[in-house]
Structure 1
Amino acid sequence: MMSAYVEFVRLRFLTMLAYRVNYYSGIIIYAINIGAYYFLWKAVYGGQETLAGFTVAQMTTYVAVSWMARAFYFNNLDREIANEVRDGSVAVQLTRPYSYLMVKMMQGFGEGVFRLLLFMVPGMVIACLLFPVKLPADPATWGVYLVMLFFSFLINSQLNLLTGLCAFYVENIEGMIRMKRVLVDLFSGVIVPIAFLPGWLSAVMQWLPFQAITYLPSAVFTGRTPLSQAGGVLGLQLVWFIVLLLPIVLMWRTARKRLFVQGG
């Protein structure tokens, strides 16, 4: 059965490979985003050495690695589930001898592997050539960060699954999908590092899974969080991965019983 799930990873990778225009345009778009945020933060610093514990070099690297990490963990599993519920194809999926949600996770991972190899890596090379990005020299930092990046994918995908499962309960979740995407980008630290948020809001973020997606892994990668504390970050990511499994299982059990097809 596991080999069948691996096949879904391969098929999604090949599907992504077929749309090369999206791939090339995506690298350009992400490079523009990194450049825009680089010059914005350069103006915010205004000659100061540090802000909120970030040096200029750390912030430059943080911006680049955060956007490139987003390229890996980002997927549209929520919209895919909503579309399949809307057109009725989810009913066919549920009759097949495999876990529907597991298939979605594998498809998302196949997309992530494609983005990692053919989007994130070349995009990071371009960012290093255009901007003063300082990558860590310690191989251990790279190894730990890759593990964290995998958990970032898992947690973000779990949030997407939760959002997508809402399509079993309401007829249209497009607004919910957009709201979720804004919340993830804002509170995960892609747009603004959590250290720059007001104290009360930063404290609230400690109790939400968003920081485990981007901010904490990127803080380790840039050196703001020492490598000796990386175990705590990995532990927190593991905790959120386990915690998010519960609502997914509960929602899925009830969603299958109340499925109604709107189209077909």
Structure 2
Amino acid sequence: MRAYTAHARAAALSALAYRGNFLMSLGGVAFQLIALLAVWKVLLGGAGTRIGGFDWPHMRSYLLVAFASGALVGTFVDFRMAWRIKSGLVALDLVKPVDYQRARLWEAIGGVWIEIAVIAVVATVSMLFSGVPELPPGPELALFATSMLLLIPLKFIIVYFSTLACFWTQNDVGILWARQAVTGLLSGALVPLAYFPGWLATAAQWSPFAGLTSTPALIFVGQASGGHALLLVGVQLAWVIVLWYAARALFSRALRQLTVHGG
């Protein structure tokens, strides 16, 4: 365990050392929050206006959760991993007496506390201007907290899974953009899944991407409660387990593609 916590500490120090890049990536998510708040304020700001089950107070709370989920486990993780694969430095990672996948997870965890601090600052400023959201009742609040905790390994494993493609291609930027486009849409970060066509909303809700935004956000705003909320959190946990072992299988295949030249 000490070896993995050392990876987490090193990742946190690296994030602080390159805080400009780190803060710029989080700034992009914060700008998205401001833009979406402005758009939805126009659409739902009128008294009694409700679209797809959302009025303005619910949408405001939903977007705050979407911002928090988008800021957690940022792009710093995949850039570092992709660069080490492309440069061949991954060979040094493979000879270390630690599990490669778990070490990358702990590196992601290392930056989470910094991301939480930035989330708290941005959310506080946002609430000063738009108001404090109403918290869900006790059981749903506990499920919301559980969902946010599960979001960390789920988002990591999706990022990790996609970045393994760098063993087959050098186009890591294209992979990053493709993943962001898919997750931004199917997670409900840009538009709640309730606004999707019926078949697409159902498919997205049962996909792993819903656990990145839609699941915790719906629980927080009260559109998922009781057994329904528990089911969504269970699906979130199931995807963490399935994708974790699927990524291990893909990593085993990826190692067959690895050729490192040097002396």
TM-score, normalised by the number of residues in structure 1: 0.89
Distance in 1 (CA, whole Å) between partners of 2:27 and 2:186 is 24
Aligned to 2:92: 92
Deviation at 1:239, TM superposition (A): 0.9
- Letter matched to residue 95 of structure 1: V
CA contact (8 A) 2:11 2:111 kept: yes
Closer/same/farther in 2, CA of residues 103 and 193 from structure 1, 3 Å limit? same
CA contact (8 A) 2:192 2:214 kept: yes
Indicate the larger mover: 17-26 or 48-57. Answer: 17-26
- The Cα RMSD (Å) is 2.3
Indicate the larger mover: 74-83 or 90-99. Answer: 74-83
Closer/same/farther in 2, CA of residues 10 and 184 from structure 1, 3 Å limit? same
CA contact (8 A) 2:206 2:235 kept: no
SS class of match (1:191): coil
- Letter matched to residue 121 of structure 1: A
- Letter matched to residue 106 of structure 2: M
Structure 1: where are the runs of 5+ without partners? none
Distance in 2 (CA, whole Å) between partners of 1:137 and 1:113 is 24
1:247 aligns with 2:237: no
Closer/same/farther in 2, CA of residues 143 and 204 from structure 1, 3 Å limit? closer
Structure 2: where are the runs of 5+ without partners? none
- Letter matched to residue 195 of structure 2: F
Deviation at 1:97, TM superposition (A): 0.6
Aligned to 2:65: 65
- Letter matched to residue 167 of structure 1: C
1:41 aligns with 2:40: yes
Indicate the larger mover: 37-46 or 156-165. Answer: 37-46
Deviation at 1:15, TM superposition (A): 2.6
Closer/same/farther in 2, CA of residues 178 and 25 from structure 1, 3 Å limit? closer
Aligned to 2:15: 16
CA contact (8 A) 1:54 1:224 kept: no
CA deviation map 1:144-165 (0-9, x unaligned):
3222112112111111111111
Aligned to 1:170: 169
Deviation at 1:253, TM superposition (A): 1.0
- By relative contact order (CA 8 Å, sep 6+), the higher-ranking structure is 1
CA contact (8 A) 1:152 1:212 kept: yes
Closer/same/farther in 2, CA of residues 22 and 75 from structure 1, 3 Å limit? closer
Distance in 2 (CA, whole Å) between partners of 1:31 and 1:113 is 17
CA contact (8 A) 2:186 2:193 kept: yes
Deviation at 1:66, TM superposition (A): 0.9
- Letter matched to residue 121 of structure 2: P
Indicate the larger mover: 88-97 or 229-238. Answer: 229-238
Distance in 2 (CA, whole Å) between partners of 1:95 and 1:163 is 23
CA contact (8 A) 2:25 2:74 kept: no
Deviation at 1:250, TM superposition (A): 1.3
CA deviation map 1:53-88 (0-9, x unaligned):
112110011112211221123344333222111111
Aligned to 2:191: 192
- Letter matched to residue 16 of structure 1: A
Deviation at 1:200, TM superposition (A): 2.2
Closer/same/farther in 2, CA of residues 27 and 79 from structure 1, 3 Å limit? closer
TM-score, normalised by the number of residues in structure 2: 0.89
Deviation at 1:29, TM superposition (A): 5.0
CA deviation map 1:171-199 (0-9, x unaligned):
33321221011111121111111111122
CA contact (8 A) 2:219 2:225 kept: yes
Distance in 2 (CA, whole Å) between partners of 1:202 and 1:238 is 20
Closer/same/farther in 2, CA of residues 92 and 24 from structure 1, 3 Å limit? closer
Distance in 2 (CA, whole Å) between partners of 1:156 and 1:243 is 13
1:125 aligns with 2:114: no
Aligned to 2:219: 220
Indicate the larger mover: 169-178 or 158-167. Answer: 169-178
Closer/same/farther in 2, CA of residues 80 and 25 from structure 1, 3 Å limit? closer
Deviation at 1:228, TM superposition (A): 5.1
Q: Which ranges of 4 or more aligned residues in structure 1 deviate by more than 6 Å?
A: none
